[in-house]
Amino acid sequence: MSAARSVRPALMMLAVYFLSTWAGVAAVQAQGAVPDITLSCDQPQPIDVYPGATRSSLINCRLENPTIHQEKVRITIQAGVLAVSGPASLSVGGGSEVPFQVMVRAELRAPEGQHQVTISAEVTMANGVPVTSDPQSYNIMAIIRQFSRLRVASEVAFLQLRPKVDYNLIFDVYNDGNAMDRFNIEVQNYDELNDEGFQLSIPLVSVEIESMAPPEKIRVQMRTPKNQGWTDKYYSLQFKATSEYSVRTEGIPNYQIQTMTIYIRGVYLPGFEFIGTMMMTALAAAAFAGRTSRESDDESELVELDSRIF
């Protein structure tokens, strides 16, 4: 009997709780309106992900309560690879509107592209009473904006060559941006070097490179000056690569210049190559004749030695 008496108060408390809950729900329904919420959001600004950028953007949203109830609304956010932050729940009075913000954040140097962000709102309580409702969702496209970034390198920074020598210079162009880009190639001080007697040619004047791909090797064909007489002079060649995307979209050309020092030392005379060839031929002939003469002398000495022995 004592056990039954101890259980009765607990059962009575549960009954009162369920009756009060049922009464609250009934009161909500009796007021003639089903708990509801309206969600709307604005398109955010594109996200910049270049080094030094905030890499984030804000989404401005609003919750509108068309009913007469005081509602508690649960907020859920899905954004795929993007990091997000925002309120977990909000209270919205009957017939009122509450603004809130959701922040989306991308990784450094994230690839250019679009990502869908889904924001959902669901009424969980009305006038302090737990309720169920269909969630309202809003889809937004978060755009990661392209940026240009490049590097230029050369296999050597200093060259020593003779006059009138053909040589291929090799330069590496890297795309450190977050999307494919085209790079325009040139020798910035071409006219200056041309006036000094250099002959320069670039077979590839522009090249497309994928983001973070291995460097594209650019060849510059060069013939050193053939100014008559002795040359002992330093020259500077300035190889330049410019992002076409930066010129077309960013408004400020993004370029890199790699400087190479070229030291020309030697003599050039018209027809010197032919004279040099003749001299080499004559020297070779003289060397061969000297060798033959020495061999003949050696043979004579051997014959004389044999005669003495016998």
Full strand arrangement of the beta sheet holding 38-41:
38-41, 56-64, 97-105, 83-85
Give me the architecture of the 33-144 domain, per CATH.
Sandwich (2.60)
pLDDT tens, residue by residue, 91-113: 999 999 999 999 999 999 999 99
pLDDT on residue 308: 46
120 near 136, Cβ under 8 Å? yes
Task: Please list the alpha-helical segments (H only) found in 177-253.
Answer: 190-195, 244-245
pLDDT at 79 over 60: yes
Using only C-alpha atoms, the chain has a radius of gyration, in whole angstroms, of 42
pLDDT at 16 over 90: no
Cβ neighbors of 81 (< 8 A, separation 6 or more) are 106, 107, 110, 115
pLDDT on residue 228: 86
- Give pTM, 2 decimals: 0.72
Phi–psi pair at 42, nearest 5 degrees = -100, 150
pLDDT on residue 272: 55
pLDDT tens, residue by residue, 112-145: 999 999 999 999 999 999 998 899 999 999 999 9
Tell me the mean pLDDT in the region 73-86: 96
pLDDT tens, residue by residue, 151-202: 999 989 999 999 999 999 999 999 999 999 999 999 999 999 999 999 999 9
Question: Alpha-carbon distance 140 to 103, whole Å?
Answer: 12
Where in the chain is CATH 2.60.40.10?
33-144, 150-268
Of 155, 244, 249, the C-alpha closest to 207 is 244
Q: Which H or E run includes 122?
A: strand 113-126
143 near 112, Cβ under 8 Å? no
CATH class assigned to 150-268: mainly beta
pLDDT on residue 276: 47
Q: What confidence tier does 298 reach under pLDDT thresholds 50, 70, 90?
A: low
Question: Alpha-carbon distance 38 to 64, whole Å?
Answer: 5
Q: What confidence tier does 25 reach under pLDDT thresholds 50, 70, 90?
A: very low
Question: Alpha-carbon distance 290 to 120, whole Å?
Answer: 100
In this predicted structure, which of 49-63, 157-171, 280-294 has the lowest mean pLDDT?
280-294
